[in-house]
Amino acid sequence: MRKFEPRDAHPVDMILRQCPEAAAWSLKSIEQLQQRGEIAWVIEIERGIAGFLVARVVLNEAEILNLAVDPSRRRMGLAAALLDAASTKFQRQRVVTIFLEVRKSNQPAISFYEKHGFALNGRRPAYYQNPTEDAVLMTRGLTG
C-alpha cells in the first residue's frame, strides 16, 4: 500500500469502470485529487493497482469519498487494509468522526462498513445518478 501518485489515475479509472456501485468520477477528476487537497491510497499487487481509497479531512472530521477494489481482487482483505490505513492517518490528524455515503442498493458495502464500526445515520434522496438512487449516510467515531 502506498500514497496515490498522478501516474495511478489511469489504473484507478479502470477500476471505477468495473465498479458501477462506486462513485463515478471522470479521469480528469481522478488526476486532480491531490490538487483539491484530497488524500488517497492505492494497493498495488503484482505491479498493478488492485484498489484505492480517497478521503478528505476538514478540522476533526474525515469523509471517505470513494473506495473500490478491482472485482477480480475482492474478498482478499484489500478494502479493509485501505480503510485501516486511512483510519490510522485520521487518528494521527485528531479526527473524531468519519463520514461516508453509499448507494442504498449496495448491501455488500453497507455490510462491510457496519463490520468495521460504521452505523447508519440517515439518507440523501436521489443523491446518485445513473441510475438515480438514494445515498445511505454512515458514520464511525474514532478514539485515540
Supply the pLDDT for residue 64: 94
Annotated active-site residue in 5, 101, 127, 133: 101
Q: Specify the number of domains making up the chain.
A: 1
**What would the pLDDT profile of 22-60 be if each residue is shown by its tens digit?**
777 888 888 888 788 889 999 998 878 999 999 999 999
Phi-psi region at 39: left, alpha or beta (left = phi > 0; alpha = psi -120 to 50): beta
- Residue 119's beta-bridge partner residues? 139
For the record, the C-alpha cell of 8 comes out as 495511478
Catalytic, 114? Answer no
Query: Which CATH number goes with the domain that contains 88?
Result: 3.40.630.30
Q: Does the pLDDT value for residue 144 go beyond 70? A: no
Among 83, 93, 30, 32, which residue's Cα sits nearest to residue 61? 93
Catalytic residue among 61, 113, 114, 128: 113
User: 24-33, 85-94, 117-126, 127-136: lowest mean pLDDT where?
Assistant: 24-33
Is 101 labeled as catalytic in the residue annotation?
yes
- pTM listed for this prediction: 0.88
pLDDT in tens, 54-112: 999 999 999 999 898 988 888 888 999 999 999 999 999 999 999 999 999 999 999 99
Query: Which domain, by its residues, includes 9?
Result: 2-141
